[in-house]
């Protein structure tokens, strides 16, 4: 099947999702039987959240996008091993987190200096006029990668400590501790910035 | 305008707000449609994978193998036919004169010459 042949089926899947007639479990079961439309529907349902997970871990928007694509490919390959009674989202986001962590590791090996600069400018918007955003972007470079991921996954995306621990492969208590330290670090740096103004 | 209202108690609100701004996902629906299409394109491409590639090459490979087999068979047949013709012609061709007759005078001449040489030296 070619990409051109896939396009109409994606649209059909989108309509099906919009109608929300079929529960997620049915999409999963159909996708496991090799139904591309069903997998497209799962992609449609989860890609935003998947992006949020990967974006919390990698340094740039482009890397997050790459990690999302890789993550969905991994998920598709591993789909036959997924038990449909489990929550699909949790399973998928763990794959996404692993995909993002893999990407970070590969980037580190390839070009550590470039990564450091990218962390300093984590937002893709070239304007970046908002001062808080700028200061915060700088402050984030003072966090470890894991602390940064934990605070974004918790404070921005609303994942629980347990979910974050599952995604990043760390104990729940460590996720809690990372969050505490990340907040304290950011608060301290931003307070120093204010006193300098 | 600065949003850095870092009065104690407001810090985390500001931090969270700032983080949300930094890590916001693209809001454009077209972006997500395009990403979804790209993902599905790769999924379908991955599934077709090397099986399709093999399938693409199967027909030419079979044709090439058949052509090679025909060429080999024809060559073998021609070689066998040529051998048979040569053998048949060899049987029918008249035999040349006895080799002994042709060679003996030369040998005799050489032998006589040698004897004459030895006798002349004595």
CB contact under 8 A, B15 and A44: no
Radius of gyration over every alpha carbon of chain A, rounded to an integer in angstroms:
19
Q: Which has the higher per-residue pLDDT, A96 or B59?
A: A96
The ipTM value here is 0.73
Name chain B contacts of A48, Cβ cutoff 8 Å.
25, 32
Structure tokens at B72: 């080999």
Please give, rounded to a whole number of angstroms, the shortest distance from the CA of B11 to a CA of chain A.
Answer: 6
Please give, rounded to a whole number of angstroms, the shortest distance from the CA of A86 to a CA of chain B.
Answer: 23
Do A139 and A192 meet the contact criterion of CB atoms below 8 Å apart?
Answer: no
pLDDT in tens, A135-193: 888 889 899 999 999 999 999 899 999 999 999 999 999 999 999 999 999 888 887 66
Name chain B contacts of A7, Cβ cutoff 8 Å.
37
> A135 — phi, psi (to 5°)?
-65, -40
Mean pLDDT, all residues of chain A? 81
- What is the per-residue pLDDT for A122? 47
Please give, rounded to a whole number of angstroms, the shortest distance from the CA of B77 to a CA of chain A.
Answer: 46
CB contact under 8 A, A77 and B46: yes
In A, minimum Cα distance to B44 occurs at A1
Which residue in A80, A134, A155 has the most chain B C-beta atoms within 10 A of its own C-beta, making it the best mutation to test that interface? A155
Asked if pLDDT for residue A95 goes beyond 60, the answer is yes
CB contact under 8 A, B48 and A1: yes
- Match 């104990």 to its residue by tokens: A171
- What is the per-residue pLDDT for B115? 80
Name chain B contacts of A135, Cβ cutoff 8 Å.
4, 18
- What is the per-residue pLDDT for A188? 85
CB contact under 8 A, A130 and B40: no
In A, minimum Cα distance to B38 occurs at A69
Please give, rounded to a whole number of angstroms, the shortest distance from the CA of B19 to a CA of chain A.
Answer: 7
CA dist A10 and B122 (Å) reads: 117
For the whole model, what pTM was predicted? 0.63
What sign for the dihedral angle of Cα A2, A76, A59, A155?
positive
CA dist A189 and A193 (Å) reads: 6
**Residue B37, exposed/middle/buried by CB under 10 A (0-12, 13-18, 19+)?**
middle
- What is the per-residue pLDDT for A174? 95
Asked if pLDDT for residue A66 goes beyond 90, the answer is yes
Residues with pLDDT less than 70, chain B: 1-12, 48-56, 95-110, 122
Domains and CATH numbers, chain A: 8-120 (1.10.1740.10), 122-197 (1.10.10.10)
- What is the per-residue pLDDT for A2? 44
């Amino acid at each position: 099947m070619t990409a051109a042949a896939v396009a109409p089926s994606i649209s059909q899947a989108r309509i099906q999702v919009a109608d929300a007639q079929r529960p997620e479990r049915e999409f999963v079961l159909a996708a496991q039987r090799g139904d591309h439309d069903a997998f497209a529907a799962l992609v449609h349902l989860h890609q935003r959240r998947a992006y949020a997970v990967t974006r919390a871990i990698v340094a740039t928007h482009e890397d997050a996008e790459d990690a999302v694509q890789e993550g969905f490919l991994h998920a598709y390959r591993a789909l036959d091993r997924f038990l449909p009674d489990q929550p699909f989202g949790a399973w998928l986001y763990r794959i996404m987190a692993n995909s993002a962590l893999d990407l970070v590791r590969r980037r580190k090996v390839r070009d550590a200096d470039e990564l450091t600069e990218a962390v300093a400018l984590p937002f893709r918007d070239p304007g970046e006029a908002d001062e808080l955003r700028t200061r915060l972007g700088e402050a984030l470079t003072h966090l470890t990668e894991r602390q940064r991921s934990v605070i974004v996954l918790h404070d921005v995306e609303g994942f629980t400590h347990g979910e974050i621990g599952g995604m990043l492969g760390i104990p729940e208590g460590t996720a809690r501790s990372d969050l505490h330290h990340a907040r304290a670090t950011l608060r301290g740096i931003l307070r120093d910035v204010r006193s300098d103004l | 305008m600065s949003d850095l209202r870092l009065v104690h108690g407001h810090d985390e609100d500001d931090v969270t707000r700032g983080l949300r701004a930094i890590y916001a996902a693209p809001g454009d629906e077209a972006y997500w449609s395009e990403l979804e299409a790209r993902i599905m394109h790769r999924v379908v491409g991955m599934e077709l994978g090397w099986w399709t590639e093999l399938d693409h090459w199967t027909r030419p490979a079979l044709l090439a193998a058949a052509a090679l087999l025909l060429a080999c068979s024809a060559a073998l047949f021609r070689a066998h036919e040529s051998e048979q013709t040569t053998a048949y012609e060899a049987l029918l061709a008249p035999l040349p004169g006895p080799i002994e007759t042709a060679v003996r005078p030369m040998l005799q001449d050489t032998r006589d010459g040698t004897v004459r040489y030895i006798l002349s030296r004595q």
